[in-house]
Amino acid sequence: MDKNTRLIDVLIFDDMNILDMAGPVQAFYKAHRNGHAAYAVRSVSVDGRSVRTTCGIGVESAASLDEASEALDLLIPGGAGTTGIQAHPKVMETVASWLDQHPDGRLITICSGALVAAHAGALDGREATTHWSCELEALSNYPRVDWQTDRIFVKDGRTYSSAGVTTGIDLALSIIRADCGATQALTVARELVVSLRRVGGQSQFSDVLDAQFALEEPVAQLVDAVNAAPADSWTLETMANHVGMTPRTLARRFDAALRTSPVKFVERVRTTHARNFLSDGMAPAMAARRSGFADMQQMRRAFERQVGVSVRDYRARFAVES
């Protein structure tokens, strides 16, 4: 293996979620640095045998967990099988000691894989996230972990966690960006036909997705139109005309389904777009204009209401560095 290539061990087990593994692995596989593959990935099971995922597809193991490994990083996917794997002493010992045994290594968890790391004590005193459906179990069983379950991924020192499934790709892209630079991360994102814009500070839940499911036609189509063109003039009157309703009827529909007004919903959508633009490194003034805000002051006020932080603080925390 080339000395520039970083080896990642992926712990595989029966009833793991195949996307938790396949998404990040494919992203790492596509990444290059200085003309060489940036990562090599090896599947590792407890006993070296192949496993069967929750969807029934088998995955072969390249080695057993106790075999000597040059890997720096250990990736733990999620799935129904995490409950059983937590009871395995070898797994708990390996996970608990991974960062101590690998001073330059990382512990990466996807979805409920965070519960495996938490059970081993590897996340004590650290921030972490997991799939929203695991929130109650995480908070109840592992109170020493600072759970950030609204986040899609979290980095705390050398521990990395994601909400799972497709957000494993988001986490992998953030690691690739840190290791190989923003240009290479964007190249991988384009190859996978995914967005580089979704960042760790954003919610696991999408306002647009929630609205699409909560609202009936034609109001759901209005949501799509607002999201597709946030910079258009979306006053209450123009939105009402768009769906052929009176402003009062439209407002009543939004309040019943989303507990918000149409105008406030537009502000939420525009704020989300602005966050995406800022996270990609776009200048604030351009982000405001592209998102539909009249000026910077309007965007600043929206950020305070919708995100709870200033535009400056948000950029400092989440903006992509070239």
Q: Is the pLDDT of residue 154 over 60?
A: yes
Check if the beta carbon of residue 38 is closer than 8 Å to that of residue 180: yes
The mean pLDDT of 182-195, rounded to a whole number, is 85
Q: Is the pLDDT of residue 196 over 90?
A: no
Helix (H) or strand (E) holding 43: strand 39-45
DSSP letters, 156-204, are ETTEEEE-STTHHHHHHHHHHHHHH-HHHHHHHHHHHT--S---TTSBS
Q: What is the pLDDT of residues 248-291, one digit of tens each?
A: 999 999 999 999 999 999 999 999 999 888 877 899 999 999 99
The mean pLDDT of 100-117, rounded to a whole number, is 97
Instruction: Give the angle subtended at the CA of 308 by the CAs of 303 and 314, to the nearest 5°.
Output: 65
Q: What is the pLDDT of residues 286-320, one digit of tens each?
A: 999 999 999 999 999 999 999 888 999 888 877 65
The mean pLDDT of 107-116, rounded to a whole number, is 98
Q: In angstroms, rounded to a whole number, what is the distance separating the alpha carbons of residues 54 and 75?
A: 18
pLDDT band at 206 (very low <50, low <70, confident <90, very high): confident
Name the residue with tokens 């990466």: 108
Q: In angstroms, rounded to a whole number, what is the distance separating the alpha carbons of residues 146 and 65?
A: 28
66 in helix, strand or coil?
Answer: coil
Q: What is the dihedral of CA 135, 141, 143, 144, to 10 degrees?
A: -120
**pLDDT averaged over the chain?**
92
All structural domains of the chain:
6-192 (3.40.50.880), 207-318 (1.10.10.60)
Q: Is the pLDDT of residue 106 over 90?
A: yes
The mean pLDDT of 81-89, rounded to a whole number, is 96
DSSP single-letter state for residue 258: H
Instruction: Give the angle subtended at the CA of 224 by the CAs of 223 and 228, to the nearest 5°.
Output: 120
Q: Is the pLDDT of residue 197 over 60?
A: no
Check if the beta carbon of residue 310 is closer than 8 Å to that of residue 317: no
pTM for the full predicted model: 0.76
Query: Taking Cα atoms as reference points, which of 58, 96, 53 lies closest to residue 74?
Result: 96
pLDDT for 36: 93
Report in angstroms the alpha-carbon separations of 305 from 118, 263, 275, 310.
33, 14, 13, 10
pLDDT for 66: 76
Helix (H) or strand (E) holding 39: strand 39-45
Query: Taking Cα atoms as reference points, which of 70, 267, 66 lies closest to residue 254?
Result: 267
Query: Taking Cα atoms as reference points, which of 172, 205, 237 lies closest to residue 39?
Result: 172
Q: Is the pLDDT of residue 153 over 70?
A: yes
Q: In angstroms, rounded to a whole number, what is the distance separating the alpha carbons of residues 244 and 239?
A: 9
pLDDT for 103: 95
Contacts of 250 (CB under 8 A, 6+ apart): 219, 236, 239, 240, 243, 262
Helix (H) or strand (E) holding 45: strand 39-45
pLDDT band at 322 (very low <50, low <70, confident <90, very high): very low
Crossing angle between the packed helical segments 219-228 and 247-258, to the nearest 10 degrees: 90
pLDDT for 210: 78
